[in-house]
Each structure stands twice: as structure tokens, then as C-alpha cells.
């Protein structure tokens, strides 16, 4: 997520909500709910979360940036 208007916490909350929704859809499908020909996007969400998290490591000087606490 590259929207500069959103904070780290807001971006993470959006992605976590999306991941939870995808998980629930996958679980319902595995329990017999019709798929409606919709592919799972859980892998895409996980990659987005990893990309967001990796962007909050060290800055260009090599020092650690203070990273917000995860909720």
C-alpha cells in the first residue's frame, strides 16, 4: 500500500481486515459453500503485509526507525 495519507497502523489494519475476510471465504469454501468462481487472494494479502512490514526496518542510514507497535 503506497497511499501516503494512511499511517502504518491504518495500512496494517486494512490489510489485516482483508486477510481475515479472505481466510473466512476460504474456510467457508472448504466447508462446502459454493465458490462462485472466485479465486482466493489470501496469498496476495500476505505478500502485501510482508511488504508493508519490511518497509519499516532500517532507513537509508542503516539506523532503525521507530516502528509503531503492532495492534
> pLDDT per residue over 15-40, tens digit each?
999 999 989 888 888 887 777 777 88
Domain for residue 68, yes or no? no
Cβ contacts of 20-28, under 8 Å, gap ≥ 24: none
**Owning domain of residue 39:** 8-54
Which of 13, 43, 7 has its CA nearest to residue 26? 43
Task: Return the percentage of the chain with pLDDT > 70, whole number.
Answer: 75
Plot region of 43 (φ>0 → left; ψ -120 to 50 → alpha; else → beta)? alpha
For the chain, what is the mean pLDDT?
76
What is the pTM (predicted TM-score) of this model?
A: 0.63
Domain for residue 62, yes or no? no
Between residues 62 and 26, the one the model is more confident about? 26
Q: Which residues fall within 8 angstroms of residue 58, CB to CB, at 6 or more apart?
A: 64, 65
- Domain count across the chain: 1
Domain for residue 17, yes or no? yes
Residue 52 — very low, low, confident or very high, per pLDDT cuts 50/70/90?
A: very high
Amino acid at each position: 500500500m503506497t497511499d501516503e495519507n494512511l499511517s502504518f497502523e491504518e495500512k496494517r489494519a486494512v490489510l489485516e481486515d482483508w486477510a481475515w475476510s479472505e481466510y473466512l471465504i476460504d474456510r467457508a469454501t472448504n466447508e462446502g459453500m459454493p465458490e462462485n468462481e472466485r479465486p482466493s487472494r489470501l496469498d496476495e494479502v500476505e505478500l502485501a503485509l510482508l511488504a508493508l512490514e519490511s518497509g519499516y526496518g532500517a532507513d537509508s542510514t542503516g539506523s532503525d526507525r521507530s516502528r509503531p507497535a503492532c495492534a
